[in-house]
């Protein structure tokens, strides 16, 4: 439902072809190697909620404090990379119909023009 509301096309990858879904496969491998492999040696989990809380904390640390060393990461955290490129996905869908006015530059275009430094819009 969310995809339909946001007008996003859902696509599927080919079965048994992880190279077509490389980004997801890589984060799954990272979580496996860096979180699960050590978490089960350090703590005995009695409830799924305990494991989920520890995973959430690990993901927060991963996204907000750990610098990314992959291609085009430039040493930034994943969240910083996302925020720096968020303007690329923005368009006029957040504006009320007709609010841009005749000849006015839409919010998304303004944002791209200013390279994400639009002060009246979402981050």
User: Do 13 and 51 share a domain, yes or no?
Assistant: yes
Instruction: Return the number of other C-beta atoms located less than 10 Å from residue 86's C-beta.
Output: 13
Work out how many domains the chain is built from and give that number: 2
User: pLDDT tens digit string along 74-109?
Assistant: 889 989 988 888 887 776 555 555 554 444 444 555
User: Do 61 and 5 share a domain, yes or no?
Assistant: yes
Last residue of a domain, one of 66, 83, 105: 66
| Distance in angstroms (rounded) separating the CA atoms of residues 121 and 123 | 6
Residue 105: φ, ψ to 5° = -80, 125
Tell me the mean pLDDT in the region 52-66.
Answer: 94
pLDDT at 15: 81
Last residue of a domain, one of 49, 66, 83: 66
User: pLDDT tens digit string along 35-53?
Assistant: 999 999 999 999 999 999 9
User: Do 80 and 62 share a domain, yes or no?
Assistant: no
Residue 119 pLDDT greater than 90, yes or no: no
| Distance in angstroms (rounded) separating the CA atoms of residues 24 and 21 | 6
Tell me the mean pLDDT in the region 12-32.
Answer: 85
The domain in which residue 86 lies consists of 74-123
Predicted model pTM:
0.58
Instruction: Return the number of other C-beta atoms located less than 10 Å from residue 111's C-beta.
Output: 22
Last residue of a domain, one of 25, 43, 66: 66
Residues of the chain with pLDDT > 90, as a percent, come to: 32
pLDDT at 117: 43
User: Do 60 and 78 share a domain, yes or no?
Assistant: no
User: Do 78 and 62 share a domain, yes or no?
Assistant: no
């Amino acid at each position: 439902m969310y995809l339909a509301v946001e007008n996003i096309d859902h696509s599927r990858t080919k079965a048994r072809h992880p190279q077509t879904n490389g980004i997801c496969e890589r984060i799954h491998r990272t979580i496996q190697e860096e979180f699960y492999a050590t978490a089960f040696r350090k703590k005995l989990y009695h409830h799924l909620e305990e494991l989920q809380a520890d995973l959430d904390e690990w993901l927060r640390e991963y996204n907000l404090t750990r610098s990314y060393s992959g291609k085009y990461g430039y040493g930034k955290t994943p969240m910083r990379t996302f925020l720096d490129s968020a303007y690329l996905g923005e368009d006029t869908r957040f504006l009320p119909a007709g609010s841009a006015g005749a000849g006015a530059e839409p919010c998304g275009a303004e944002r791209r023009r200013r390279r994400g430094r639009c002060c009246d819009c979402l981050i």
